[in-house]
Structure 1
Amino acid sequence: MNIVVVGDGKVGYTLTASLSKEGHDVTVIDNRPDTLRNTTNELDVICIEGNGVSYAVQSEAGVQKADLLIAATSADEINMLACMVAKKLGAKHTIARVRDPQYQQQMFFLKEELGLSVVVNPEQSAASEISRLMRFVPAIKAEPFAKGRIDLVEFKVKENSPLDGVQLSDFYRQFKVKILVCAARRGEEVFIPKGNFIIRSGDKLTILAAPAEISSFFRTVGTFQRKVRDVMVVGGGRIAYYLARQLIETGIHVKIIEKDEKRCNQLFDLLPKATILHGDGTDHELLSEEGLDKTDALIALTGIDEENIILSMYANSLNVDKVVTKVNNARLAEMLAPMGIESVISPKEIAANRIISYVRAMTNATGSNVEMLYRLADNKVEALEFRVRESSRCIGVPLKDMPIKDDVLVGAIIRGGACIIPGGDDVIKAHDSVIVVTTMNGLHELDNILKEKE
């Protein structure tokens, strides 16, 4: 596909790298020559210097022949205007990054009037991911599929866990829960485990099941912790705002520490049920006074990665039950697990995943389309939700007889609202939703899981 990306910042660059890796022809527009020079040196893309809302600049970038324009600058208004110009020029689809809560309240109107295909809010999506982690405290990552009927959860097997030494083929017999272990990470190795795989402490497992089954599983293996009731958030940006709204709706008390007095006043008006404190969240005396050691969860959301990491290490030293860390620098994020910082979120990666999911749905054939894409295990594993169309070659064939590629697992089938953890005799039917977990990259349709005919 021909794709134009307006904005070469954190989100824009992450998108460009992902789309280029998937084989798309990408053109980047930005008005910062140094930034574009770095992108040109690192990626196989075309870069054009100029204003992304300019008719002339977009024409030079070939927007009139583009399948998709993605506006990912830091300014909502520029993104919406760039998409409007692109639609006038003839771009088939447009995606805008829109973050301001005021625009979120009128998003349906804006999408209709501006002809936007998708609106992406990285901060709101990051808040939703953190909120889900509050449901499953032992989880490193948690992602819903099939409209919340099934969850994909990654967690670490602790020392002396009853899971240590268990062979997967004996899993159900021992724990009596309907879950599927669909990916395992041991050290640097990530793979789809077979029945003879033996779980060891230190492994990071990804499980797929209905939410109630996952809660039951954590109770059974002794990792279930009490419900989160109090959350301390350091950093009062947009993620903190969206997160506080979501948590307060579920009955969780939220305390936000923000060092900018003006922003504190804004949050005080926007979030009357939250506790807003003006202060430096990196001051350990302030954190102690506010009861960090007694809170259920610490969410580090300042604008500086290093501050978030130090805050998280301090919270871990106080044995806070749940610690979530916002980190934008991918290189830093890779170093955190050995330091005990497991739950790391990156708004730009979350936004990229959603857009990649949409792009794959656009590029697929007539078989089945990607409804959702989620990456885990440092992006080495993909979980995809496909909607099965009547033309798919996977329909009606028992899974045990289906020539499925290595390193691909059919994790769940959603049919008529029911969640099926499939066995060898189960079949896929038209209009099912199918969850596939794989270490392969670039699955665009369900039929891609099948081996090529000889």
Structure 2
Amino acid sequence: MRVIVVGAGEVGSSIAADLSSDHEVTVVDIDGGQVESISYGEDVLGVEGDGSDVETLEEAGIEETDMLIASTNDDRTNIVTCGTASVFDDVFTIARVKSPQYLRTWERGSRVFGADFMVCTDLLAAETITGVIGLATAQDVDTFADGAVQMAEFEIPAESPVAGQTVEEADRFDSLTFAAILRGDSIIIPRGETRIEADDDVIVIGSPESTRAFSAAIAPEQSGPKDIVIVGGSEVGYQTAKLLEARGFSPRFVEHDPDRARWLAEKLPKTTVMQNDATDREFLDREHVGTADVLISTLENDQQNLLACLLAEQLGVDRTIAVVDTVQFADIFEAVGVDVAVSPREATAGEITRFTRGRRAENVALIEGNRAEVLEFEVDEDSDAVGCTIRALAGELPDDVVFGAITREETLITPRGDTMLAAGDHVVVFASASAIDAVTGVL
């Protein structure tokens, strides 16, 4: 597939790098230095110019292109770029936007703005935050098979009862598959005798109920959050509060700007909005912020978010989540004490990348960037997999592939060696990056 990525910033460069191994990628950016940098660093072609200009797109080869991804830092430029690309036949267009208002407009009609698919950075970040908030120590959560199957990545704390147990000892749940253990740079496919160590990232696939039960086993002292504090009235903070209200929570919100605080109070009827400085220690003590189960920092810059989370840790908050604008800072945040760092740019790049890959699967979740994937396939009635057992299919695949779950007519099945696939089954599979083509070929 031929792909044009417009925008060579962090998001565009990440998308281009992820896609370049399997596709012919051309990157367009108005900054010649950015174009030169990514051309030398990745296996992509570079074109200097305005991606919303039809002549620039023609120079990039738009007439022979299958997909265009508009991923500059400006919403309107991305929308105009998709509109320009839409005058060419058979080009699938994806627009990255920051503001949810464009997404809401796009959802009302077919190919609005000339975009076939749209990703909203701020809303995606909010969804990522609310996805991990209910599962103790969860680093990532994705759903499959219309919500019947959940994939979660958990970090195992040193003090967890699970640390030191074998997989056989830890596996006490009706519908849960231990798909992989990430230990340093290694991906371990667990067996019954595999021992789970402190600081391992464990990936499980199963029913939401079993996933929650495993989360409780990892940190039994942590029940579901009741008191949630959001600091920073950014769009991400606002969207997070809206999602939490929809899930039955009544968060507390701290915003420094009086006008923004008033607006938030009007828009969020179940949220208590407090107008103050989120880094004011006296205010935080007075409002008992230290007793909160979770503090989410969505302030305007990385330094403020780091400070707010570290201060919350000192006050006694059980868990902190920070929005990190600079992708490479996410690991640093978690290394110095922030429990979960959410990068809107990284989440957006991952969502666009997984959408392009998901065209060969029903759904895709990227693990640790692109080290591995969890994929959902629907078994077609003409598929060679119909009537095959999991044991037989596994024999055709590399060792670093795990069948995580099967849904059949709304029934969840935990795969075993003698489980036989039927037409219409939805199969959720974990696979390392090197095994993905083999999995796609078999299923």
Under a length normalisation based on structure 1, what TM-score does the superposition of the two structures give? Answer: 0.88
* Alignment correspondent of 1:320: 317
CA contact (8 A) 1:393 1:447 kept: no
Q: Distance in 1 between matches of 2:264 and 2:41?
A: 40
CA contact (8 A) 2:231 2:298 kept: yes
Q: Residue deviations 1:404-441, cap 9 Å, x none?
A: 21111111112111221111011222222211112224
Q: Distance in 2 between matches of 1:141 and 1:382?
A: 13
* Alignment correspondent of 2:241: 244
- 2:362 aligned with 1:371, yes or no? yes
* Alignment correspondent of 1:215: 212
Q: 1:401 aligns with which of 369, 392, 408?
A: 392
Q: Residue deviations 1:327-375, cap 9 Å, x none?
A: 243432233444333322122222222222222244xxxxxx3222222
CA contact (8 A) 2:376 2:429 kept: yes
1:119-158 pair list within 5 angstroms: 119-158=118-157
Q: Residue deviations 1:291-318, cap 9 Å, x none?
A: 2201221112223223323322332333
* Alignment correspondent of 1:257: 254
Amino acid at match of 1:389: D
CA contact (8 A) 2:69 2:94 kept: yes
Q: 1:425 aligns with which of 418, 422, 426?
A: 418
CA contact (8 A) 1:63 1:91 kept: no
Q: 1:232 aligns with which of 216, 221, 229?
A: 229
Q: Distance in 1 between matches of 2:174 and 2:163?
A: 17
Q: Distance in 2 between matches of 1:46 and 1:13?
A: 12
CA contact (8 A) 1:234 1:256 kept: yes
* Alignment correspondent of 2:307: 310
* Alignment correspondent of 2:188: 191
Deviation for aligned residue 1:3: 0.7
* Alignment correspondent of 1:295: 292
Deviation for aligned residue 1:266: 4.1
Q: Distance in 2 between matches of 1:220 and 1:317?
A: 26
Q: Distance in 2 between matches of 1:50 and 1:442?
A: 37
**Structure 2 gaps, min length 5:** none
Q: Distance in 1 between matches of 2:375 and 2:266?
A: 40
Q: Distance in 1 between matches of 2:187 and 2:218?
A: 23
Q: Distance in 1 between matches of 2:252 and 2:18?
A: 36
Q: Distance in 1 between matches of 2:260 and 2:208?
A: 36
The more displaced of 148-157 and 315-324 is 315-324
* Alignment correspondent of 2:75: 76
Q: Distance in 2 between matches of 1:221 and 1:257?
A: 31
Deviation for aligned residue 1:145: 1.6
- 2:377 aligned with 1:386, yes or no? yes
* Alignment correspondent of 1:28: 27
CA contact (8 A) 1:137 1:321 kept: no
Shift in alpha-carbon separation, 1:75–1:130, aligned structure 2, 3 A: same
Q: Residue deviations 1:223-242, cap 9 Å, x none?
A: 26233233222222221121
* Alignment correspondent of 1:365: none
Amino acid at match of 2:208: P
Q: Distance in 2 between matches of 1:81 and 1:284?
A: 45
* Alignment correspondent of 1:59: 58
CA contact (8 A) 1:325 1:344 kept: yes
Amino acid at match of 1:419: L
Amino acid at match of 1:399: I
Work out the percentage of aligned pairs sharing the same amino acid: 30
CA contact (8 A) 1:358 1:370 kept: no
Q: Distance in 2 between matches of 1:133 and 1:54?
A: 40
* Alignment correspondent of 1:15: 15
Shift in alpha-carbon separation, 1:81–1:218, aligned structure 2, 3 A: closer
Q: Residue deviations 1:88-130, cap 9 Å, x none?
A: 0224211111332323333233443445321111211111121
Pairs aligned (count): 441
- 2:410 aligned with 1:411, yes or no? no
Q: Distance in 2 between matches of 1:94 and 1:378?
A: 23
Q: Distance in 2 between matches of 1:74 and 1:220?
A: 42
Shift in alpha-carbon separation, 1:296–1:384, aligned structure 2, 3 A: same
SS across alignment from 1:89:
coil
SS across alignment from 2:197:
coil
Deviation for aligned residue 1:217: 3.1
Q: Distance in 1 between matches of 2:304 and 2:442?
A: 42
Deviation for aligned residue 1:67: 0.2
CA contact (8 A) 2:167 2:194 kept: yes
Q: Distance in 2 between matches of 1:266 and 1:30?
A: 37
* Alignment correspondent of 1:366: none
